[in-house]
Amino acid sequence: MKRPRRQFLHLTAGAVALPAVSRVAWAQTYPVRPITVISRFPAGGLLDTLARVIGGRMRGALGQPVIVESVTGAGGTLGVSRVARAAPNGYTLVIGNFSTHVVNGATYTLQYDLLKDFEPVALLASNPQLIISRNAVPARDLKELIAWLKANPDKMSAGTGGAGAVSHVAGVFFQKETGTSFQFVPGRSPGCGAHRRE
């Protein structure tokens, strides 16, 4: 939830004014029991693996068990809704991404409010997008690739992680901004690739 600047400044000033002892006391009371991290990705997938690595580090730093559970299905809404229904006490967390916290909110009617029911805790990773092609495509840089795509509409296909995945949304945006046209091929994983269609 976006707070007005003045309210943010008042909250910040109030936090600074609190005695350091009370902040230390609060920090020492959390956590007092195991923490559950919901991964909406299949076990062994990239972000599920990240959740398990982070969970191990949290366990060492916080001195409490951190249980990572894979709750997949419905584009991630099953796992995210489980966290939305949990008590807002910091003991049930979700590893979310662009799909779960942007695309799903723009695409589906959800049983939870992504802006009101969740508070971001930490940015764990970023996902830079790259444009790459096979050597068979006669383009040495992005400018030449755009020119080739315009001259050869629908002769290129781009692999995506599925409809609504970051790679798909980025590809649609790329087409719109450059006036190009190519086909999308959904894959089984978030990784993608591009190849020339013969």
Section 135-160 average pLDDT = 92
Q: How does the average pLDDT of the chain come out, rounded?
A: 82
- How far is it, in rounded angstroms, from Cα 48 to Cα 103? 19
Query: Is the pLDDT assigned to residue 5 strictly greater than 50?
Result: no
Query: Is the pLDDT assigned to residue 28 strictly greater than 70?
Result: no
Q: Residue 188 — pLDDT band, cuts 50, 70, 90?
A: low
For the record, the structure tokens of 170 come out as: 């980025």
pLDDT digits (tens, 9 = 90+) for 100-113: 898 889 888 999 99
Instruction: Report CA torsion sign: 56, 58, 64, 68.
Output: negative
pTM: 0.64
- How far is it, in rounded angstroms, from Cα 94 to Cα 118? 9
Higher pLDDT, 6 or 133: 133
Of 164, 166, 198, 168, nearest in space to 185 by CA: 168
Q: Residue 167 — pLDDT band, cuts 50, 70, 90?
A: confident
Domains detected in the chain: 33-127 (3.40.190.150), 142-196 (3.40.190.10)
Q: Residue 97 — pLDDT band, cuts 50, 70, 90?
A: confident
